Amino acid sequence: MTGSRSGDGSSLLEVRDLSISFDTVRGPAQAVSGSSFTIGAGERVGMVGESGSGKSLTGLALLGLTPPAAQVSGSVLLKGRDLLTLPRKELQKTRGQQVSMIFQEPMTALDPVFTVGQQISATFRTHQKVSKAQARERSIDLLAEVGIPEPKRRYREYPHQLSGGMRQRAMIAMALVCEPQLLVADEPTTALDVTIQAQVLDLIVKLSAEHGTALLLITHDLGVVAETCDRVLTMYAGQIVEQCSVDEALERPKHPYTSGLLSAIPRPGVAAQDLRSIPGRVPSPIDFPDGCRFGPRCEHAGAGCQEPQEMLLSGLDRWVRCGRHHELELTGAVSVEPPAV
Ligand SMILES: Nc1ncnc2c1ncn2[C@@H]1O[C@H](COP(=O)(O)OP(=O)(O)O)[C@@H](O)[C@H]1O
Ligand code: SF4
Ligand SMILES: [Mg+2]
C-alpha cells in the first residue's frame, strides 16, 4: 500500500495515491509521492512539514490548481467526484462553492484594480443567483464577520488601502462567501506580524467551527497545528510519513521526523537556545534518497532503513512510515522537563 486511510466512502474529501511530478532540466522531480488521506465534514486537519515537503502542491491539487507543467496522478474525491478529471467548467463551479483556498499572500487572490467589495460580490454572484444589492449586503455582513471595522467603507476600498492583516481577513471573507464545505489554508498567517498571526488563526478556526467548514491547515509549524486541529498529517520529502490525532502526535509521536518537529516548538520551560532543530535539509525531489527518505537526517537509522518505507498501520486510524517505529522511544511535546526552581 502506498498511502494510508483507505476511507469508507463517507468522507467529505478522499485523496487516493496522489502523485505530482515535473520534468526538469536536471531530470524528473517527484514532488508528491503517493499521498492518501481523508478529511471528514467539519474536521480540522493540519498538514505540517518543512519547506519543500510538497504541502502547497498537495493543497493546490485539492482545488485542481496545480501548475500546468505538473503531471498529476491518483484521485481527489470531493463528495465522491474526482476533481482531477472534472471538466474545467465543473471544476470552476466546485471551486469557491465547495472548496476554496486562503493563500499566504493575500494579493495572490485579491486583484489590485478592483475594490474589495467588488471582488467578494463578484465571487458570490458567480456562484449564486442573487441581485447586486443582495450580493453587496452579504459581502458587507461577511466583512463585519471577519472582524473588519467599518465594513461599509472598507467595501469600497482597494486592497492596497488595507493593512496586511485586514487584507488577509478580506481574503478569508472571499473564500467563505459561498459557504464551501472545505477550506484549504496554506500558511495563512506566515506573512503577518506575530501579534496579528494569532488573531487571524483564531478567526479561521472560529469561522470554520461556526459554518461547519472542514479545514486543511498547511503550515511548517507543528505548534500551530497543535492549537487548532483535530488530526495531523506530517509530510516529509513528498510523502506523508505519519498521520494520527493531534493528541497522539504530541504525546507519542511514532515517526522520528514528527518527534524532531516537536523538539523545535518553543514551549514554557525551554530556553530558545535549547530548542533542537533537525540537522540537515529536506532533499530535492530530483534526488531523494533510495531508502527511507528521512534516513540521512535520522538519528535512529539502522537495519532496514536502506529500503523504501511503506505506510504502516500502527493503531486505530494511526499510520507511520517507519519500519522501526515499534523499537523507538521517541520524545513527545509533553515529556518536556519542568523548569528547575
Ligand atoms: N513548478 C515547479 N517545477 C518544479 N518543481 C516544483 C514546482 N513547484 C514546486 N516544485 C518543487 O516541489 C517541491 C514541493 O514544493 P511545495 O509543495 O511548494 O513545498 P512546501 O509547500 O512543502 O514548501 C519543492 O521541492 C519544489 O521545489
Ligand atoms: S525507517 Fe529508519 S531512517 Fe527512516 S525514520 Fe525510521 S528509523 Fe529513521
Ligand atoms: Mg508551501
- Domains by residue range for the chain, with CATH: 13-229 (3.40.50.300), 242-341 (no CATH)
CA distance 307 to 293: 9
pTM above 0.75, yes or no: yes
CA distance 151 to 183: 23
- Whether 59 is in the pocket of ligand 1, judged by its Cβ within 6 Å, is no
Which of 254, 259, 292 to probe ligand 2 with, by most ligand atoms within 8 A of CB? Answer: 292
CA distance 31 to 39: 22
- Expressed in angstroms and rounded, the spacing between residue 255 Cα and the centre of ligand 2 is 8
Residue type, 62: L
Whose CA is closest to 53, among 273, 297, 333? 297
- Give 174-218 as a DSSP string: HHHTT--SEEEEESTTTTS-HHHHHHHHHHHHHHHHHHT-EEEEE
Closest ligand to the CA of 20? 1
Q: Which three cell numbers stand for residue 53?
A: 515537503
Ranges assigned E (strand) in 63-213:
71-78, 81-82, 99-102, 182-186
**Crossing angle of helices 164-176 and 194-211, rounded to 10°:** 10
Closest ligand to the CA of 47? 1
List the chain pLDDT tens, one digit each, 341 residues: 344 444 455 799 999 999 999 999 999 999 999 999 999 999 999 999 999 999 999 999 999 999 999 999 999 999 999 999 999 999 999 998 899 999 988 888 899 999 999 999 999 998 889 999 999 999 999 999 999 999 999 999 999 999 999 999 999 999 999 999 999 999 999 888 888 889 999 999 999 999 999 999 999 999 999 999 999 999 999 999 999 999 999 999 999 999 999 988 877 777 777 778 899 999 999 999 999 999 999 999 998 999 999 999 999 889 999 999 999 989 887 544 444 44
What is the residue whose three cell numbers read 471577519?
146
What is the residue whose three cell numbers read 496522478?
73
